[in-house]
Structures are given as structure tokens and as C-alpha cells.
Amino acid sequence: MIKLSIEDRIINLLKENRWGLTAKEIAEKMGVSRLTVSKYLEKLKAAGVVKDRKIGAYRLWYLTMFIEERRKLIPRRIINAIGRAFLKVFKDEAYEIALKVGNALADDIIDLLNITLQTDEGDFITQISDVISMISEGVKSEGIRIGANRGILRVFIEGEYLNRDTVKLVAYLLKGVISSILAHFINKSVEIGGPFIRRENANFEIIIEMKVN
């Protein structure tokens, strides 16, 4: 049997206890002194493997990888909760309201991201795709040009802890944002089709069609 180092044993314990352990708890589970555990925890902390957080009189230790994972999941759970509340309050009108909220958000997004579309010589589909990718972590997009004035936007959302109704709200929000951004920069009428939603494993794909007349 391969004998694990103290660092490896600490890491394995923290993998089994994602919400953290104190140095005292780790020492008791490993059968070594608290002083020894504290020394190796500080060593692992310096290497970026673990982080600590003081809660009241206790100091909890976590694996860094799990903290980053939770940072990603908690916002999605909050978005899901907001989506459920939105649907509960506004019912059948929820998607139309999400579209209007997207319209209203566009100006702030333009200012925040310092957006300037090169409508004369650039590909507006690709530029819109770049803008959407910048809006949030866990969102990627791809712009596909079909003709001189027409194209589709494929938006990929990491869907863990998100349900289809919430993603549909996000899709209408994005549709409103895209519609207003294009109207801001392009002095022509713009038709926005969709959104169409497809689920693949734990992720979602949103498809939005764009046509400049």
C-alpha cells in the first residue's frame, strides 16, 4: 500500500468535506497533532491549493477548486430563483417583460462595455456575438453570417442548476438587448427572430436570428 503524504491526506479529507473543516477536525480525523496540520495547511495555502475563512470563532479550510466551483454555481441558483419569482409574479407576460427589460438594459451595456459596432465595414453578426460573450461568465456565443444582411447568433449557456423556463427568460432578455444595440448603431430596420432553445446534456443553446432590411 502506498503511504500518502500529510498534504495528500489533508487534500483527500477536504475533498470529502466540501463545506470545510477546522484544523482541529482535520487533526482528529488524521490522528496527528493540530500543530502539524496547521503547518501543512499554511504550506498548501501558500501553494494556492487551499483557502481559509473565519466564521465566528472558527477558521474553516476549503480546497480552492471547490470555492471557485461554488462561486460559479451560486449565481446560477440565484438566477434560477429570480426566474421562478419572475414567472410566478408575471405569469404569461413574463417573457414579454423580459424582452422589454433587455431593451432597457442595452444602453447601460453599451456604456459599460464601451461598445462601438463597425457597421460600415465590419460583420455585425460577429460583433454582436463578441458582445454577448462579454456579458457573463459561463456564456459563450457564435455568430454565423448567412448573407450580406442576415445571420444567426448561437448562445451557449452552462446550464447546471438552470431550468428551461429560466433559460427562456434569459433568451428573451438577450433578444431585447440585441435588438436595442442593433437599433442604436444601425440606421435601418432590424428583424429579430426567435429565440429558439435547445438543451444538450447539462447545457443550453439559444438561437436568435437577425436580419437587417
Residue-level pLDDT, tens digit, the chain, 213 residues: 456 788 999 999 988 887 788 899 999 999 999 999 999 999 999 998 888 888 777 788 888 877 666 655 556 677 778 888 989 999 989 999 999 998 898 888 777 766 666 554 446 777 788 878 777 666 788 888 887 778 888 988 876 677 888 889 989 998 998 888 887 777 777 788 889 999 888 789 999 998 877
Give me the domain span that covers residue 208: 75-212
Both 43 and 137 in one domain: the answer is: no
Both 79 and 49 in one domain: the answer is: no
Here the cell at position 46 is: 501558500
Here the cell at position 58 is: 472558527
The domain that holds 172 is classified in CATH as 3.90.1520.10
Q: Is residue 116 part of a domain?
A: yes
Both 137 and 80 in one domain: the answer is: yes
Both 90 and 186 in one domain: the answer is: yes
Both 79 and 175 in one domain: the answer is: yes
The domain that holds 29 is classified in CATH as 1.10.10
pTM score above 0.75: no
Both 20 and 123 in one domain: the answer is: no
Both 185 and 142 in one domain: the answer is: yes
Q: Where are the strands (E) in the chain, listed by range? A: 21-22, 50-55, 58-63, 139-145, 150-157, 190-200, 203-212
Both 17 and 81 in one domain: the answer is: no
Q: Is residue 63 part of a domain?
A: no
Using DSSP's 3-state secondary structure scheme, residue 53 falls into strand
Both 52 and 79 in one domain: the answer is: no
Count up the domains in the chain and report the number.
Answer: 2
Q: How far apart are the first and last CA of the chain?
A: 72
Both 79 and 165 in one domain: the answer is: yes
